[in-house]
């Protein structure tokens, strides 16, 4: 098969006619398929149903240290939950705070606290003329939504298979005091599925920011979310590396069990230095008397320890792996060698990143929607929803049943072909 760019105008027009007929066949099917967000499917949620049975009215809801989980108190989480999530996050238990169900909520609170009260004695961001954040792109739309909500200027930083462009990051943070943070999804990144190299993590830990209140927002959302037993990415642990580099306060590390247990009823955690945690606890003591300790205990009783959690994630992988492999097989079969798209092949996480020809992403997503398949909005993976190349599309294979996913992906590749032909024909005028 020739690359589309090598086809003559007549060949492109003949192919376009053929593909349009196929597209009409899909439209006639009246499809209603959704690949917009990385939600666990029903089968994944069913894996955690046993959690509903580990506590009952007859259960002892007392922790090992005597804490009654039904009552007020224990601001930073019960010890058993701290130990469980500390093992998951690869940090000491005394460097962690257990929150409610959402790590996104914790990130929002961290930005809000910095806006209203500053960071460890610095000027509150709301009183500064300009506050900026670095944003590896493509990236996580909800990260960008938080900073946009607070009026923080976002500066895109290109991603590579090794992580974000560290030369650019080192230069920017060392020169500009108004840069206060960077969003990171360091393992199986959203949407590309890249994991930061050892060198990238070590360079992060050794940053020399001009702003004393600069922090790395290290959202390790997919820390144990592998697709394979024998092909797994591993990260250098950032907190220990920062301490080793003499920058112990440089990072806030976030994680949750949202895609491990129940997304709406998991537990979230923040890990950081004691200096950072002391400041956060001061604010937390005003905000709450304590998070849901019964739910924390429920997680501990269900998983028991990190080994139980890892075994549980193998079951998730058994459900997700065929879906990822099906999408990748269809992309390769339908688009391989045509020169009209590139895509990542992640070993974990929840997404596949697809790059079309420049200027085609919005049209591809619109064509999919018109035929009954909802994708993540083109541009969502960039700050302000503006992809300068209009090329990146996030594919989320997790939620649809496999049979629906196959149909949706085949339609997607058809839309890629149609949009690419239209672009190439417009350039041949």
Q: E strands within 320-380?
A: 341-343, 352-356, 373-375
Q: Are residues 159 and 273 in the same domain?
A: yes
User: What percentage of the chain exceeds 70 in pLDDT?
Assistant: 100
CATH of the domain at 348: 3.90.1150.10
**What average pLDDT does the segment 295-319 reach?**
98
What pLDDT does residue 1 have? 75
Q: Are residues 84 and 229 in the same domain?
A: yes
Q: Give residue-wise pLDDT tens across range 176-224.
A: 999 999 999 999 999 999 999 999 999 999 999 999 999 999 999 999 9
Q: Is residue 50 part of a domain?
A: no
What pLDDT does residue 428 have? 80
Scored b (16 or more CB within 10 A) or e, 195-204 reads bbbeebbbbb
Q: Are residues 348 and 244 in the same domain?
A: no
Q: Are residues 326 and 258 in the same domain?
A: no
Q: Are residues 126 and 274 in the same domain?
A: yes
Q: Is residue 91 part of a domain?
A: yes
Q: Are residues 422 and 364 in the same domain?
A: yes
SS3 state of residue 90: coil
What pLDDT does residue 233 have? 97
SS3 state of residue 23: helix
**Considering its fold, how many domains does the chain have in total?**
2
Q: Catalogue the long-range contacts made by 314-322 (C-beta closer than 8 Å, 24 or more residues apart).
A: 314/229, 315/47, 316/40, 316/44, 316/47, 316/225, 316/259, 316/260, 317/226, 317/227, 317/228, 317/229, 319/41, 319/43, 319/44, 319/47, 320/44, 320/227, 320/350, 320/397, 320/398, 321/227, 321/228, 322/402
Q: Could you count the other beta carbons within 10 Å of the beta carbon of residue 387?
A: 22
Q: Is residue 49 part of a domain?
A: no
The conformational region for residue 405 under phi > 0 = left, psi -120 to 50 = alpha, else beta, is: alpha
Q: Is residue 53 part of a domain?
A: no
End residue of a domain, out of 283, 304, 325: 304
Q: Are residues 235 and 329 in the same domain?
A: no
End residue of a domain, out of 284, 304, 324: 304
CATH of the domain at 163: 3.40.640.10
Q: Is residue 57 part of a domain?
A: no
Q: How many angstroms separate the most distant Cα atoms in the chain? A: 79
What pLDDT does residue 351 have? 98
What pLDDT does residue 345 have? 98
**Does the pLDDT of residue 106 top 80, yes or no?**
yes
What pLDDT does residue 32 have? 92
Q: Are residues 402 and 300 in the same domain?
A: no
Cα 1 from Cα 15, distance rounded (Å): 12
End residue of a domain, out of 276, 304, 332: 304
What pLDDT does residue 37 have? 85
Q: Give residue-wise pLDDT tens across range 32-66.
A: 999 888 999 999 999 999 999 999 999 999 999 99
Q: Which residue has the tokens 């009260």?
A: 117
Q: Give residue-wise pLDDT tens across range 137-186.
A: 999 999 999 999 999 999 999 999 999 999 999 999 999 999 999 999 99
**Does the pLDDT of residue 83 top 80, yes or no?**
yes
Per-residue confidence at 429, pLDDT binned at 50, 70, 90?
A: low
Q: Is residue 360 part of a domain?
A: yes
Q: Is residue 265 part of a domain?
A: yes
Burial (CB count within 10 angstroms: exposed 0-12, middle 13-18, buried 19+), residue 8: exposed
Q: Are residues 206 and 224 in the same domain?
A: yes
The structure's pTM equals: 0.97
> What's the mean per-residue pLDDT of the chain?
97
Q: Is residue 54 part of a domain?
A: no
What residues make up the domain containing 206? 63-304
Is residue 217 within 8 Å of 181, Cβ to Cβ?
yes
Q: Are residues 129 and 263 in the same domain?
A: yes
Kindly state the tokens that stand for 156: 């895109």
Q: Are residues 199 and 93 in the same domain?
A: yes
Per-residue confidence at 334, pLDDT binned at 50, 70, 90?
A: very high
Q: Are residues 342 and 364 in the same domain?
A: yes
**What average pLDDT does the segment 106-134 reach?**
98
**Does the pLDDT of residue 70 top 90, yes or no?**
yes
């Amino acid at each position: 098969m020739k690359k589309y760019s090598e086809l003559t105008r007549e060949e492109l027009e003949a192919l376009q006619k053929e593909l349009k007929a196929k597209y009409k066949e899909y439209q006639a099917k009246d499809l209603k398929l959704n690949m917009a967000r990385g939600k666990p499917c029903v089968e994944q949620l069913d894996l955690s149903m046993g959690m509903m049975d580990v506590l009952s009215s007859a259960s002892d809801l007392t922790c090992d240290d005597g804490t009654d989980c039904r009552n007020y108190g224990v601001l930073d989480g019960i010890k058993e939950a701290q130990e469980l999530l500390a093992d998951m996050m690869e940090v000491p238990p005394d460097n962690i705070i257990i929150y409610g169900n959402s790590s996104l909520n914790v990130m929002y609170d961290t930005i809000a606290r910095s806006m209203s009260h500053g960071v460890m004695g610095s000027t509150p961001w709301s009183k500064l003329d300009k506050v900026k954040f670095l944003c590896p792109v493509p990236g996580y739309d909800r990260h960008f939504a938080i900073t946009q909500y607070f009026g923080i200027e976002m500066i895109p930083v290109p991603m590579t298979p090794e992580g974000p462009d560290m030369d650019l990051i080192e230069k920017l943070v060392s020169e500009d005091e108004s840069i206060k943070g960077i969003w990171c999804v360091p393992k199986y990144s959203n949407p590309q599925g890249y994991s930061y190299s050892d060198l990238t993590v070590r360079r992060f830990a050794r940053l020399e920011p001009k702003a004393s209140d600069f922090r790395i927002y290290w959202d390790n959302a997919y820390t144990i979310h592998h697709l394979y037993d024998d092909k797994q990415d591993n990260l250098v642990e950032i907190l220990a590396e920062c301490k080793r580099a003499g920058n112990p306060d440089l990072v806030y590390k976030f994680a949750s069990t949202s895609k491990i247990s129940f997304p709406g009823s998991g537990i979230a955690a923040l890990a950081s230095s004691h200096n950072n945690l002391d400041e956060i606890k001061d604010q937390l003591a005003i905000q709450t008397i304590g998070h849901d300790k019964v739910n924390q205990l429920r997680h501990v009783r269900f998983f028991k320890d990190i080994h139980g959690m890892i075994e549980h994630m193998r079951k998730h992988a058994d459900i997700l792996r065929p879906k990822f492999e099906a999408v990748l097989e269809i992309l390769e079969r339908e688009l391989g060698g045509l020169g009209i798209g590139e895509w990542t092949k992640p070993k974990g996480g929840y997404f596949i990143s697809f790059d079309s020809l420049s200027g085609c992403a919005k049209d591809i997503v619109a064509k999919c929607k018109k035929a009954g398949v909802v994708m993540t909005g083109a541009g969502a993976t960039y700050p302000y929803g503006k992809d300068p190349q209009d090329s990146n599309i996030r594919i989320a294979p997790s939620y649809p049943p496999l049979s629906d996913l196959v149909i949706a992906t085949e339609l997607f590749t058809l839309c890629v072909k149609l949009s690419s032909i239209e672009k190439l024909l417009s350039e041949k005028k």
